[in-house]
Amino acid sequence: MPDVTAQTLLVTISGEDRPGVTSTFFDAIADVGAEVLDLEQVVVRGHLTLAMLLVSGDTEARLREVLLAVGEELDLKVKIKKGTGDTRRRRTGRAAVVVLGAPLRASGVAAVTARIASHGANIDRIRRLSRYPVTTVELDVSGADVDRLRRELALESSVHGLDIAVAAGGLARRGRRLVVMDVDSTLIQDEVIELLAEHAGRQAEVAAVTEAAMRGELDFAASLRQRVAALEGLPVSVLDEVRARIQFTPGARTLVRTLKRLGFTVAVVSGGFIEIVEDIARELDIDHAHANRLEVRDGRLTGRVVGEIVDRAGKAQALRRFAAEAGLPLSRTVAIGDGANDLDMLEAAGLGVAFNAKPVVREQADTAVNVPYLDAVLYLLGITREEIEEADEADGTPTPAPPVAHP
């Protein structure tokens, strides 16, 4: 255990970064015999900030002399502050606050940081997770009541047009998870039942019922039966035609691919149809798929579903079942959805994410993502864009070209 009474020097070095700066400083002070208690370095657009906490003892004068000499040699600014003991232990109540903006404006960051301060919490570290297609920063916070801070920051989210997620920090941030997604208008851009209804000439009628159901204005099971009835008589071959038209949401493949690399369990649950969902799950190597099944007789749809309807309660039940099979507590689960029939699932999960969702869903979810890129969910889990791209490059997966960066 470090001596809490030892004389220490807090050294802050800043200036233009280049290879070898850190090693040059430590080579120079190695002969002095200083002990390193803490060390942190960050580089932003070529500007270096290096902080080190050193035990000086009776070598303080020599340490100062060497540090200042190296700083002058490298044309770097060196500030030295005398103190006693190690860095103060961080408070409990650790939280990760992730802020997404497109763009991320200074006024929004000011509001978020002010709210954290008024909460009585402290921001210990900040790092950027992505610069495109959205700007994302993660604030490492201590002294927070996670649930209360989440509610307080939700107010700033709506006022400043930001997506903000607050999750427990520390070990709770790490390890294996289960991620369960809705399919229609979440994993894919389409509403499958509307594509099917188009073949029956009743797309507009079905779309209106779907929209009302997703807003929570209609009972989902009753609305599904009403919509499926419009499909009566269609040949079963239309399922293959519709499957061929499905468009994945931008970032969907990247999201699933990255989650699988991390060893996460990935599942999809849908109020749509297993005949389509199973093919999607197979293509993306998704572990579990749960959805309604259409009744077929003599090669045609009967306009009915088989078995119990997968509604909002059914989706939550599926999440719990998948978590149990994976040996994970619900606190280690993430649910992503856009409609009212996803609400029970979002509430049951450790982190419920409303993805480009209806207002009733955004209001009740833990956090919301309102950009059209599904892989933005990865940032909420603390995964950086650079880590995603490095993994893609390592296995030869093409990475989409980035948009032009802000100057």
Q: What is residue 120's three-state secondary structure?
A: coil
d(CA 246, CA 267): 18
| Cα separations in angstroms, 156 against 115, 147, 318, 321, 350 | 8, 15, 33, 35, 22
The single residue of 17, 163, 182, 338 carrying the catalytic annotation is: 182
d(CA 367, CA 384): 18
Active-site hit among 184, 338, 344, 375: 184
- Can 17 be counted among the known catalytic residues? no
| Geometric angle at alpha carbon 33, from 31 and 37, rounded to 5° | 130
- ∠ Cα 366 368 373 (to 5°): 140
Token digits of residue 164: 């903000």
CA angle 220, 231, 360 (to 5 degrees): 25
Q: Which two tokens stand for residue 205?
A: 């009628």
Q: Is the Cβ–Cβ distance between 269 and 182 less than 8 Å?
A: yes
382 phi and psi angles, rounded to 5 deg: 85, 15
The helix (H) or strand (E) run that includes residue 128 is strand 122-130
Phi first, then psi: give them for residue 212, nearest 5 degrees. Answer: -65, -40
Q: Which of 353, 342, 402 is nearest to 378 (CA)?
A: 353
Helices (H) and strands (E) in the chain, counts: 15, 15
Active site residue 86: no
Q: What is d(CA 30, CA 204) in angstroms, rounded to the nearest whole number?
A: 75
Q: How far is CA 315 from CA 22, 275, 346, in A?
A: 52, 17, 9
For residues 178 and 332, the answer to whether their CB atoms sit within 8 Å is: yes
Check if the beta carbon of residue 183 is closer than 8 Å to that of residue 272.
yes
What SS3 class is residue 135?
strand
Enumerate the active-site residues.
182, 184
